[in-house]
Structure 1
Amino acid sequence: MLQEPATRYQGHRSYSYLEPHLDYQDFDLALEVGRVPEHDLELSEAQRQRVTRLLTEHIAISLHEHPVVLPADVRQLRTYNRTARQRTGYEGLARSGLTAVFDNFMAGASCVTSENGWKWNDLVYALGMRLSDLYKQDHVRLATSVGDIRAAKRDGRLALVAGLECCSPIENELDRIDILYGFGVRQLGIAYSQANMLGGGLSEPRDGGLTHFGRRAVDRMNKLGIAIDVSHSGDQTCLDVIEASRVPVLITHAGARSVWNTARMKPDDVIRACAERGGVIGIEAAPHTTLSEKHLEHSIESVMDHFTYCVDLVGIDHVTFGPDTMFGDHVGVHDTYAGNYAHDSGPKPSHPRVQYVSGLENPGEAFGNIVGWLVKHDYSDDEIAKVIGGNTLRVLEQVW
């Protein structure tokens, strides 16, 4: 459910201050608005107005996105990513109703540019390039504090929090965490599915847990004020990180394994441990992840099955949303980089393959539809305010 464009948005397009083909390689890009049919929640006019009011009155934070615009022809994706000049979806974000978005600048597999995996130089290049464009417009602003998020709400802007899904590029150099903090990064994932110097990934047949270096890294993140994410970590590593951290830990984008039994989802004990230490779980919506037996065809309905389960398990104060979406063919991204992704070892019951997740296809529409679903299912204003941003703000005030 798209909102009216933000009044602060003046139509900026990424790198429009440069000359295409001369200063950078140009691509035909996917549509940010209207690429797929709008999902119909069958809301009444009064319900639609309530959705708009809630997004207007309350801070809404997407805990995990990749709000970049992909090439219209996904076969160009590898070439596009190698330029490091990914385009930010300003037009779509301006219609999202969001106050803040956690932008994970390097997707776990899609920014790997060689068989040797994550590279520090690749990371610095991609981060700097995206931020250089961010500073050339006046709607989306880099946020490094809770105050920045609150100021964005007050000023009609959108706060962008820089995050990374994986600490692999820091290798065994602890001070690189400080460097990332200096660049404005305020959220780091421990491992992206495969093990690294810090700990185990969810695809490993045996998870050795958080390493000694990993414990030092967690301590450094705590001292600096960087939020820690364990979405792609192995179960034991998740528990170790939660135990080692002096502040709450985030599961920015996952679901419940009790609802859909794959390693990409989190078991009850990890979700409980996260909540007991004050953290939150953001419900994931990337294609073919948060499925459910009740809704085998991936859509907002199967995603919300994970939401309701987690609320029942740990309470509404510890659940939010990290849809993990992009502007463009997300299924095509997975297909293009299938060899880079580490597959989990859980059972994979047959389910219909979708071309996109209806209702949660991109960062522009996701939160409008999430709030619409919550309104349709009679959640109170206070409950909706918590799960769309209030719970995340509570954690960030402790972490940052």
Structure 2
Amino acid sequence: MSDRREFLGQLTALTAAAAAGVALPSLAMAAGPRTPAWPPYRDTVAIDGASGLMLVYLEEGDPAIAGELRAARDCGLAATLLTVAPAGRFWLDDAAFERARANIDKWNGLIERHPGHLAAIRSHDDLQRAHASGRVGMIFGFQGTEPLGEDIERIPMFRELGVRVIQLTHNRRNLVGDGCMEPGNAGLSNYGHQVVERLNAERIVVDLAHGSQRTIREGIAASKAPVLISHTGCRALADLPRNTADAELRAMAERGGVAGIIFWPYLRTDTQPMAIDVVRHIEHAIDVCGEDHVGIGTDTPIAPVERTPEFERNNREFMRGMKEDGIFAKDRPDDLYTFIPDLNSADRFDTLAALLSRRGHSDARIGKILGGNFARVMREVWG
């Protein structure tokens, strides 16, 4: 698998193209703040369980920075769970450790340079302050434990550096357990149990997204604190390895955890998912877990994508590669997107909230789904 595809698999096709030096598509520019489609949105602590900005890939003075900051202002999010560690490769040396340290340094520098738009999140109080100030909080997280290597003492070190959520595996097997694309479905290793225990002790949230079915189930059982499945879909609606089965969703909810519904093509097994598919997965998760255990983890950048001819060409190339690698079935169309076309705006959470409201969901329930449930887990774990 090429480096470009690996990074795309982590941060969407748009972000990966930037990381690999591919010409970036332009961003669809919002006209500016508007009246919320769902009136309570401005008072809601909205949290995306998997998202970010492309600022880390842009050089100082790049005119695209203004568009990224505008999207940060327009999205209305209090925070996003930002991946600061590499994922999707076999990291057999300290490359992942060094890159994670470098990425954390980059993001800390960006937050310092843009204090009117970004905030570092280290505590639940930081979430409240970010929301009150209209900034987007950056929650540092890993998508995979590769940066730990075999040194469990790196966990407190990374906490000191600001990491507050650690996902155990990506798609592949690592020292902690099996990812969702491993046919062996081996679950947590002995070392994996030690990692979960230390994450609990250091008050870092355990994230089980991308885990194999057994890794998710055993991770839930091993953790003494509520866990996240930060970005996933419901396997009962789309039987794909990246989605979570009802049994694991129930077990997660019974221990106080939250599952975030993803915006990737995992929501269907045939054509491109749309907003109604996001809603269906949210509603199924509510039926299985209850409204206190469902969130949103888009796994898409905050800024909307302008579907230029260049972007369409790059996206089709990416999707063909993903199908070759077995991430998507070979009969899926080449023009799938790793975003939801009718939610392709910075304020997508507000739009989705309005859809849920029209379907009869209460304002209180919608507030939980948009971020209240994630915030509760973070408060319980972080203290």
Q: Does 1:164 align with 2:142?
A: yes
Measured in 1, the distance between the counterparts of 2:157 and 2:224 equals 21
Equivalent of 1:354, from 312, 327, 336?
336
CA displacement at 1:289 relative to structure 2: 1.8
Whether the aligned pair in 2 keeps the contact of 1:29 and 1:70 (CA below 8 Å) is: no
Q: Partner of 2:6 in structure 1?
A: none
Q: Partner of 1:399 in structure 2?
A: 381
Equivalent runs, 1:123-272 vs 2, <5 Å: 123-138=100-115, 139-272=117-250
Equivalent of 2:51, from 58, 65, 73?
65
Equivalent of 1:99, from 55, 78, 89?
78
Matching residue's letter, 1:307: I
Matching residue's letter, 2:340: V
Measured in 1, the distance between the counterparts of 2:107 and 2:299 equals 18
Measured in 1, the distance between the counterparts of 2:292 and 2:330 equals 31
Measured in 2, the distance between the counterparts of 1:69 and 1:338 equals 26
The number of residue pairs the alignment matches comes to 346
More displaced stretch, 155-164 vs 309-318: 155-164
Q: 1:52 to 1:302 in 2, by over 3 A?
A: closer
Show CA shifts across 1:191-230 (max 9, x none). Answer: 1011111111111111221111111111111111111111
SS of alignment partner, residue 152 of structure 1? helix
Whether the aligned pair in 1 keeps the contact of 2:316 and 2:335 (CA below 8 Å) is: no
Q: Does 1:307 align with 2:287?
A: no
Whether the aligned pair in 1 keeps the contact of 2:231 and 2:297 (CA below 8 Å) is: yes
SS of alignment partner, residue 188 of structure 1? strand
Q: Does 1:365 align with 2:347?
A: yes
Q: 1:66 to 1:152 in 2, by over 3 A?
A: closer
Q: Does 1:323 align with 2:298?
A: yes
CA displacement at 1:115 relative to structure 2: 9.8
Equivalent runs, 1:381-392 vs 2, <5 Å: 381-392=363-374
Whether the aligned pair in 1 keeps the contact of 2:85 and 2:96 (CA below 8 Å) is: no
Whether the aligned pair in 2 keeps the contact of 1:323 and 1:366 (CA below 8 Å) is: no
Q: Partner of 1:280 in structure 2?
A: 258
CA displacement at 1:62 relative to structure 2: 1.0
Show CA shifts across 1:323-351 (max 9, x none). Answer: 1102456973981894799645x977646
In the superposition, the TM-score normalised over structure 2's length comes to 0.80
Q: 1:199 to 1:115 in 2, by over 3 A?
A: closer
Measured in 1, the distance between the counterparts of 2:321 and 2:246 equals 28
Equivalent of 1:89, from 68, 73, 77?
68
SS of alignment partner, residue 396 of structure 1? helix
User: What CA RMSD, in Å, does the superposition of the two structures yield over aligned residues?
Assistant: 3.4
Matching residue's letter, 2:103: A
- Percent identity reads 24
The structure whose residues are more often helix, as a share, is 2
Which runs of 5 or more residues in structure 2 are unaligned? 1-20, 306-310
Matching residue's letter, 1:314: C
Measured in 1, the distance between the counterparts of 2:217 and 2:91 equals 31
Whether the aligned pair in 2 keeps the contact of 1:248 and 1:395 (CA below 8 Å) is: yes
Q: Partner of 2:26 in structure 1?
A: 31
Measured in 2, the distance between the counterparts of 1:49 and 1:126 equals 36
